[in-house]
Amino acid sequence: MADDAVAVIALIGVAGIASQWLAWWLRIPAIAMMLVTGLLAGPAFGVLDPGAALGELLEPAIGFAVAIIVFEGGLNLNIREWRAAGGGVKRLVMAVPLSWCLGTLAAHYLGGVGWPVATLFGAIMVITGPTVILPLLRQAKLHRRPATFLKWEGILNDPIGAILAVMVLEWLVLSSTEGTEIAWGLLLRLLAGVVVGTALGLGLAYGLRWMFRRDLAPEFLKTPILLASVLAAFTAANTVMPEAGLIAATVYGLALGNIGVAGLDDLRRFKESLTVFLVSGVFILLASDLEAEVFARLSWPIILTVLAILFIVRPVSIILATLGDSMNWRERALVAWIAPRGIVAAAMAGIATRQLERAGYPDAELLLPLVFSVIGATVIAHGFTVGPVARALGLAGTSRPGVLIVGAWDWTVALGDALRGIDVPVIIADPDPAALTAARRKGLPTFRGDLLSERSEGDLDLQEVDYVVAASSDDAYNALICTRFAPHMGRERVHQIAFQSGIQPGERAPLRDWRGKILFQPNAGYDSLKSLLKHGWTFHVDEVGPDDLTPEKLHVGDRTWPLLVAYDDGRIIFISPETHEVPAEPGKLLSFAPSSAHEAADTVEARAAASD
């Protein structure tokens, strides 16, 4: 067993990121993989014992990690989404007392837990949280409205549920020693915690904007300032009331993300990467810190309680809270099913168990197995079913990767039509409504707007988009589009047509970080493609086998320009001078080539025109 603090931290970090990568590779929910890894490393094989290695630093470390995670969640909340789904989100927050009451009843009557511990269990069950919701949404490709409902509910419920659990815990601990004359004191602390947390979050957000706009911080210090201020707000609010720091961190992120701070994308990308690392580590840490005795306490009453949380408590509370709302029955059914519990619930259960045992509650030992049973059940059940259930309800896009084509003109419309013909989802975007007319006549999905504008972030649904083809007449705009989407989709998935000057990649072309991968060949720019299309070139689809996908056969030739290969499992590989490898597996090859109805003379003429 690793008991050195440095070794434990290193193992947790490696195990967390390895779990994330393995889940991505196997296409399974990352949170399920992390939970299993933590249980195997801790209770099963005893490789990790974070509690023994970190000691008193364990709880503060988890607290700081959760503060950064909920801050990043608030940072990603767009106020435009609230305008579209705010009524439903408010109803979901209103479901908190219903969920609390029903969870308490389930724990008492089915789990055999006394009323005090059952009440605390019901409060903890309110917490869903961004640590589990956001990874699921990233994987499931939900439509914007149901994704907005779940995302906002998770981020708002995190501090609400945590503070509710803290209030119940303090009531139970104090009432066991000081009697029940403590209600007014707790209410005053609650009010003070909410006010201080909100004030700190708003004050820091507007203060940071004032500081950055006046160039009072160099670029290299902006991210460290942001990180330090999150931890400071969390700690300061917690001195007023435990878990009020979650309010401060959430409000801070929500405000900062919606008040127009320049350069926030760079900060957001850093925070997203840090959050992925922290979520991975904390999940492994909490799961591996469980003791084997927790599993020994599992029983049929606990199993029945878990089933009630899954199939009665959550559905009934959501259905009752959303009656009369604008949610349709499909959205209501999905939200009623999806409610995985995660890090904050686990951390609260660990803290509460120790305090209740010290206060003398006889059934406090049942709280931890109850909470972790629900966490395990919801992570697995909801993690593996969110995609299929959403698709069955018509609330998610196809699992096949989609392509965003930027720039609407004859060639891109033909490309979009060809992609649709091989079952690849496609969206054509252009700020000019007249340019989109031809695409709309073909029945292709379109988006009107400038993808570099702030407004497009809230209006364009990118859940079904995995690749970008920038093909406007403006080379610089194409490069900027690829630069904007590369951090979100990956640099190997953003492409643009060649520069009209015929610049070779690696010569005088912009650095790879500031453009997309060049399609076809260096002289296949906007004018060249337009000329070839005019002379009868079009898109062709051919069934290909492994022998057809050699580098020699995929080379851009005189009569055929290979563009991409679509495989049966949904993968897409664009063919480019900068593509390193094309898997030799059966698929469909999409090429740009002369129409069979045209003579070779036309092809020669078109090539000559394209090379001018």
Residue 611 has pLDDT above 90, yes or no: no
Residue 111 pLDDT level (bands cut at 50, 70, 90):
very high
- Looking at residue 364, the DSSP 8-state letter turns out to be G
CA 79, CA 254: separation in Å to the nearest integer?
8
For residues 149-169, give the mean pLDDT.
Answer: 83
Q: In this predicted structure, which of 60-64, 124-128, 420-424, 575-579 has the lowest mean pLDDT?
A: 575-579
pLDDT at site 494? 92
Confidence of residue 165 (pLDDT cuts 50, 70, 90): confident
Pairing label, strands 537-544, 426-430: unpaired
Cα-Cα end-to-end distance for the chain? 70
pLDDT at 17: 92
Share of the chain above pLDDT 70, in %: 89
Q: What is the mean pLDDT of the chain?
A: 84
Residue 184 is predicted with a pLDDT of 67
What per-residue confidence (pLDDT) applies to 97? 92
**pLDDT given for residue 510 in this prediction:** 64
Compute the distance between CA of residue 350 and CA of residue 124 in angstroms, rounded to an integer.
Answer: 11
pLDDT of residue 346: 82
- From 355, 359, 309, select the one nearest 336 (Cα to Cα): 309
Q: Average pLDDT, stretch 182-188?
A: 70
Query: For 186, what's the count of Cα atoms within 13 Å in the CB-facing half-sphere?
Result: 17
Q: How confident is the model at residue 602 (pLDDT cuts 50, 70, 90)?
A: very low
User: What would the mean pLDDT of 557-582 be, rounded to a whole number?
Assistant: 82
Pull the structure tokens for residue 14.
């490696």
**3-state DSSP: the chain helix, strand, coil percent, rounded to 5?**
65, 10, 25
Distance, in Å, from the CA atom of 343 to the CA atom of 135, rounded to the nearest integer, reads 13
More confident residue, 306 or 398: 306
**SS3 letters for 114-177?**
CHHHHHHHHHHCCCCCHHHHHHHHHHHCECHHHHHHHHHHHHHHHHHHHHHHHHHHHHHHHHHH
Rounded CA-CA distance 484/476 in Å is: 12
Residue corresponding to tokens 């509460």: 352
For 87, counting Cβ atoms within 10 Å of its Cβ (0-12 exposed, 13-18 middle, 19+ buried), the class is: middle
Residue carrying structure tokens 């308490």: 104
Residue 605: pLDDT band with limits 50, 70, 90? very low
Radius of gyration of the chain from Cα atoms?
27
Instruction: Convert the pLDDT of each residue in 428-455 to its tens digit.
Output: 999 998 999 999 999 999 998 888 876 6
pLDDT tens profile 200-212: 999 999 999 999 8
Gap between the Cα atoms of 65 and 50, Å rounded = 15
Residue 199: what pLDDT?
94
* Torsion angle of the four alpha carbons 238, 240, 246, 252, in this order, in degrees rounded to the nearest 10: -110
pLDDT at 603 over 60: no
Strongest mean pLDDT among 222-236, 265-279, 342-356, 544-558: 222-236
pLDDT value for 608:
44
Q: Is the pLDDT of residue 118 over 90?
A: yes
Across the range 264-291, mean pLDDT stands at 80
The DSSP line for 476-529 is HHHHHHHHHHHHHH-GGGEEEPPPTT-PPTTTTSPPGGGS-EEPS-TT--HHHH
Lowest-pLDDT choice from 68-82, 312-326, 514-528: 68-82
Dump pLDDT digits (tens) for 306-339. 999 999 999 999 999 998 887 889 999 999 999 9
- State pLDDT tens for residues 571-581: 888 988 777 77
> Quick check: 583 pLDDT over 50?
yes
DSSP 585: S
> What's the confidence (pLDDT) of residue 471?
94
Q: What is the pLDDT of residue 99?
A: 94
Give the pLDDT score at 332.
Answer: 92
pLDDT at position 377: 92
**Number of helical (H) and strand (E) elements in the chain, helices listed first:** 24, 10
With bands split at pLDDT 50, 70 and 90, how would you rate the model's confidence at 31? Answer: confident
Q: Read off the pLDDT of each residue in 170-174 and give the average, rounded to a whole number.
A: 82
Label residue 103 by pLDDT band (50, 70, 90).
very high
% of the chain beyond a pLDDT of 90? 30
343-371, pLDDT tens digit by residue? Answer: 788 878 888 888 888 888 888 889 989 99
pLDDT of residue 599: 44
User: pLDDT tens-digit profile of 464-518?
Assistant: 788 999 999 998 899 999 988 888 888 889 999 988 765 655 555 566 667 888 8
Identify whether the C-beta of residue 533 lies closer than 8 Å to the C-beta of residue 594: no
Residue 132 is predicted with a pLDDT of: 78
pLDDT, tens digit, 9 for 90 and up, residues 190-233: 788 889 999 999 999 999 999 988 888 888 888 889 899 999 99
CB 303 within 8 A of CB 377: no
Nearest in space to 319 (alpha carbons), one of 306, 304, 335: 335
In the Cβ-directed half-sphere of 570, how many Cα atoms lie within 13 Å? 11
CA 530, 532, 537, 541: dihedral to nearest 10 degrees? -70
Two structure tokens written together for 75: 């940072």
